[in-house]
Structure 1
Amino acid sequence: MTVRDAAARPAGTTSSTGTAALRGLCGGRVHLPGDPAYDVHRAAWNLAVQQRPAAVAVPHSVAEVQEVVRAAGAAGLRVAPQSTGHGAGALGEKDLADVVVVRLSELTGVTVDPTARTARVVGGTWWKDVVAATAAHGLTAPHGSAPDIAVAGYALNGGLSFYGRQHGLAVNAIRAVEVVLADGTCVRADAGERPDLFWAVRGGGANLGVVVALELDLLPYADVFAGMLLWDREQAPEVVPAWVRWTRGAPESVTTSMRVLSLPPLPELPAFLSGRDLVVIDGAVLEDDARADEVLAPLRALAPEVDTFARIPVTGLLDVHMDPPDPVPFVSDHAVLGELSDEAVDVFLEQVGPGTTTGLLFAELRHLGGALGRPAPDGGALSHVDGSYAMYCIAVAPSPEALAAGAAATSGIVGTLDRWSLPQRVPTFTDTREDTRSMFGGTAWARLARLRDEHDPTRLLLAHHEV
């Protein structure tokens, strides 16, 4: 029997008696079912996720995180760190009746060291705040495609950025972490201090502790050649195959995604988007303007209706992907794909091309390869992603009926490309409960599981993707 099988939680403690011990912690910012603010603080950014934990704690300091972890452990409860809840689907599928969600959204801050080209980022800080702080020094970070995603959850679980094919997964930019462990102690881990923990948390994330701060290596860009190309979906049979062919020879300095979108008719959307079915290619080219124009020329030859690619401040890259600015209810599915043959592209177009009714908000193929596919020599449990493309499909799900229909639509389209799928999954694109062996190599997973047992033998911690 393994430590995980035998993990002992204190017996005879119910969630109601356990959570009573939490009242008064975090300056009174522990919210239990029935409290006026409970529903506000339990809500994830993905509004389709209905997580109902035993309590939600909202710490403002590391000391408050520590006291919640200790009190939860003493009461026989578990602890699940969460910042925004963009990827809360996997956690929402679990029984949280004995779980305290530690909401890190109010534990924030950024300190930049421009000489060392690093930033110390606290707890639940959003990427938009990091990018703004670093841009003031002519630097940036390997952020995600949306401004309101928290740094910790994204980076600790890999992180695919539009700098990725040149610079690798965002997790490889982490040079140190500060972690509250299952016993409530707060430690620093880096390559020289607690190297096993440092290896494990880079990919294992909340399986090892509540990460209250990260130190990141920054990128030397004050501006970037980036933007989007847009066509009506009627041109998908021409644009999609052309993009796939183009990616096969694109330099590592280029990271792009291709999406087939079906946007609802909403007044807040600009006229060129509202109510339309579209094909959009967006991303960044880390070259000078002349070389960037040369690289993009084959795509521009397809006569896009809109072309915004240009030299922009690095802060503008957060808006290029047009992610929703406010929380939405959605369901998704995902796969990592190998090289796509002409047949694979035809199968994709049969599902999302002109005249089809997908039920999706979008079906996306994000170009991988380059540095994203190379193991980092000093990397952690997750340092690269095999494959050529990450496929990510999303459907809006404002009701239980829409949730079921959306789940069927997203899984159905992903399933049509099974023949080109690889075993690995990208944690930040995986919103459902999955065997975490699919996110790590077998050797890495075994080591990660062993280190999890060493650092949390009673399984106090509950990660979205549990090892």
Structure 2
Amino acid sequence: MTVSTDVTRDDVLQTLRAHVTTHVALPGEPGYERCVPWNVAAQVAPAAVVLATSPEDVAGTVRFAAAHGFTVTVQATGHGAVGVGPGTILVQTSAMKHCAVDVANRTARVEAGARWQDVLDAATPHGLAPLCGSAPSVGVVGFLTGGGIGPLVRTVGASSDHVRGFEVVTGEGRLLQATPECNADLFWGLRGGKATLGIVTSVEIDLLPIAEFYGGAVYFAGDDAAAVLHAWAGWCAGLPETVNTSIAIQQLPPMPGVPEPLAGRMTVAVRYTAVGDLAEGERLLAPLRAVATPLLDTTAVMPYAAIGAVHADPVDPMPVSENQALLSALPSEAVDALLAVAGPGSGSPQAIVELRMLGGALAREPRHRSAFCRRDAAFSLLTIGVPAPEIAAMVVGHAAAVVGSVEPWSTGGQMPNFAPSYDPARPSRVYSEDTLHWLAALADRYDPAGVLATGQVIRTLR
């Protein structure tokens, strides 16, 4: 049955409540506002919002959508949100946030709506480390299905490499387990394929025995950007895999949570983590710290529970526009090109322009292969802008110019969790041709009616 008119659609949507045991909100009803994502720049206006509390709610919604001509998408926090229109039902999973830690086996079973902070709170008192991203407020499942590039990525690899299994609802409304031994094709595709193959309702992950690290951030004045960026690029070449680092040209507004020395001006932040021999980690940072006089230095031996302090990403919802490139190298010419468009005097409107060192464990294939591609990149470049109405076009256009400035050193690739968009060319930047083929074939198998074919998904072109 295909919904043909607004009246028919509303009448049909009213019957959705009979297929789930939780609250369903249509536009204008209490609870519908829960569809607003963390990235408020994304236009999200679904046909209905299902506030799921169980896998059965998710499966019931998918089966209803298949029967009545709707598509279904899912959201926990909405950090990577893209637009959602009136032909789609949004499953909001933030109420499904239970986290069970198995200390003896060093694992955790995490429900679909949990944030990394929930897992940190449950695991770190036992000296165990969940491999989160830079922002603990991000959802666990969305991060892992996009591969997961965290503050220890050179040391441990992609966070999705440490997934043991998924519980997932397919486009046919079936609840399946996906592990290396059971539905192994789904297990392959869910680690890197984002929402292409199903809606994950829980995930089992490894926890690593990392109780503390040496790290934090060293902040320099914008006037020192050239000296610090050039020094950072050279310094990276000699770092062991126990060390992870990124550098960001920042323009942070004067607002709560932004330290006074950094507010309302251009600064440069060197982010740093080291595990293992923490004294050696401190020693390795010393040459970079001495390049210029820091405005602020937060580096210290920290408990793993404080891993979010390294990047100090914002917590409150805000509009965000991203662009990304992966680089094969970072010679001095690339640094100069980047400084010309994003450094002092450039007029850059970006809030953050970040370079992140990759390689190390990320570059090696994990024990169980996955759909996550682009492991060979040496560095990641990310732009983050705030597309306020009066400067939105400028922010987007300038971000493209920043990415274009390093084109001679670009691999042409991107990663699933960065710079989400509907750009039809994006999948070929994120995935190899072979991976695209297999993801599309698996999507046709597990979602033959295209119920989940909305957002950033891979499908066979028909």
- TM-score, normalised to structure 2, is 0.94
Local SS of the residue matching 1:204? coil
Deviation at 1:462, TM superposition (A): 3.4
Aligned to 2:434: 443
1:22-41 to 2 correspondences below 5 Å: 22-23=16-17, 26-27=20-21, 29-38=23-32, 40-41=33-34
1:161-310 to 2 correspondences below 5 Å: 161-266=150-255, 268-302=257-291, 303-310=293-300
C-alpha distance after superposition, 1:225-254 (max 9, x if no partner):
111111001001100010011112211111
In 2: Cα distance, 1:267 partner to 1:22 partner: 42
Deviation at 1:30, TM superposition (A): 1.4
Q: 1:36 to 1:403 in 2, by over 3 A?
A: farther
Deviation at 1:153, TM superposition (A): 0.3
Aligned to 2:375: 385
Q: 1:423 to 1:457 in 2, by over 3 A?
A: same
Please say if residues 141 and 219 of structure 1, whose CA atoms lie closer than 8 Å, have aligned partners that are also in contact.
yes
Aligned to 1:48: 41
Matched, 1:119 2:108: yes
Matched, 1:462 2:462: no
Deviation at 1:448, TM superposition (A): 1.4
Please say if residues 81 and 463 of structure 1, whose CA atoms lie closer than 8 Å, have aligned partners that are also in contact.
no
Structure 2 counterpart of 1:323, which letter? D
Local SS of the residue matching 2:325? strand
Deviates more, 1:411-420 or 1:239-248: 411-420
Which runs of 5 or more residues in structure 2 are unaligned?
A: none
Matched, 1:81 2:59: no
Q: 1:75 to 1:273 in 2, by over 3 A?
A: same
Deviation at 1:459, TM superposition (A): 0.7
Please say if residues 19 and 55 of structure 1, whose CA atoms lie closer than 8 Å, have aligned partners that are also in contact.
yes
Please say if residues 330 and 403 of structure 1, whose CA atoms lie closer than 8 Å, have aligned partners that are also in contact.
no
Local SS of the residue matching 1:279? strand
In 1: Cα distance, 2:323 partner to 2:68 partner: 36
Please say if residues 3 and 68 of structure 2, whose CA atoms lie closer than 8 Å, have aligned partners that are also in contact.
no
Please say if residues 54 and 100 of structure 1, whose CA atoms lie closer than 8 Å, have aligned partners that are also in contact.
yes
Deviation at 1:330, TM superposition (A): 1.6
1:50-69 to 2 correspondences below 5 Å: 50-69=43-62
Deviation at 1:146, TM superposition (A): 0.8
Please say if residues 18 and 76 of structure 1, whose CA atoms lie closer than 8 Å, have aligned partners that are also in contact.
no
Percent of residue pairs identical = 36
Deviation at 1:393, TM superposition (A): 0.5
Aligned to 2:397: 408
Structure 2 counterpart of 1:134, which letter? A
Local SS of the residue matching 1:378? coil
Deviation at 1:133, TM superposition (A): 0.8
Structure 1 counterpart of 2:113, which letter? G
In 1: Cα distance, 2:197 partner to 2:71 partner: 13
Deviation at 1:128, TM superposition (A): 0.6
Match 2:357 to one of 364, 367, 379? 367
Local SS of the residue matching 2:261? coil
Please say if residues 51 and 92 of structure 2, whose CA atoms lie closer than 8 Å, have aligned partners that are also in contact.
yes
- How many residue pairs match? The answer is 452
Match 1:345 to one of 335, 340, 345? 335
In 2: Cα distance, 1:16 partner to 1:379 partner: 44
Local SS of the residue matching 1:427? coil
Aligned to 1:452: 443
Local SS of the residue matching 2:213? strand
C-alpha distance after superposition, 1:35-73 (max 9, x if no partner):
2432x2121100111111111111111121121111111
Please say if residues 252 and 371 of structure 1, whose CA atoms lie closer than 8 Å, have aligned partners that are also in contact.
yes
Deviation at 1:404, TM superposition (A): 1.9
Deviation at 1:384, TM superposition (A): 5.4
In 2: Cα distance, 1:257 partner to 1:465 partner: 27
Q: 1:268 to 1:312 in 2, by over 3 A?
A: closer
In 1: Cα distance, 2:37 partner to 2:349 partner: 23
In 2: Cα distance, 1:410 partner to 1:383 partner: 23
Please say if residues 262 and 362 of structure 1, whose CA atoms lie closer than 8 Å, have aligned partners that are also in contact.
yes
Please say if residues 376 and 383 of structure 1, whose CA atoms lie closer than 8 Å, have aligned partners that are also in contact.
no
In 1: Cα distance, 2:392 partner to 2:333 partner: 30
Deviation at 1:295, TM superposition (A): 1.4
Aligned to 1:314: 304
Local SS of the residue matching 1:178? strand
Aligned to 2:319: 329
Q: 1:415 to 1:62 in 2, by over 3 A?
A: same
Structure 2 counterpart of 1:106, which letter? A
In 2: Cα distance, 1:307 partner to 1:268 partner: 16
C-alpha distance after superposition, 1:83-107 (max 9, x if no partner):
111011xx31x6x221111111111
C-alpha distance after superposition, 1:164-221 (max 9, x if no partner):
1011111111110000112222111101111111111111232111100000011110
Deviation at 1:12, TM superposition (A): 5.1
Match 2:15 to one of 21, 29, 33? 21
- TM-score, normalised to structure 1, is 0.93
Runs of 4+ deviating beyond 3 Å = 10-18, 23-28
Local SS of the residue matching 2:237? helix
Please say if residues 13 and 76 of structure 1, whose CA atoms lie closer than 8 Å, have aligned partners that are also in contact.
no
Please say if residues 374 and 384 of structure 1, whose CA atoms lie closer than 8 Å, have aligned partners that are also in contact.
no
Q: 1:464 to 1:367 in 2, by over 3 A?
A: farther
Q: 1:267 to 1:208 in 2, by over 3 A?
A: closer
Local SS of the residue matching 1:176? strand
Deviation at 1:337, TM superposition (A): 1.2
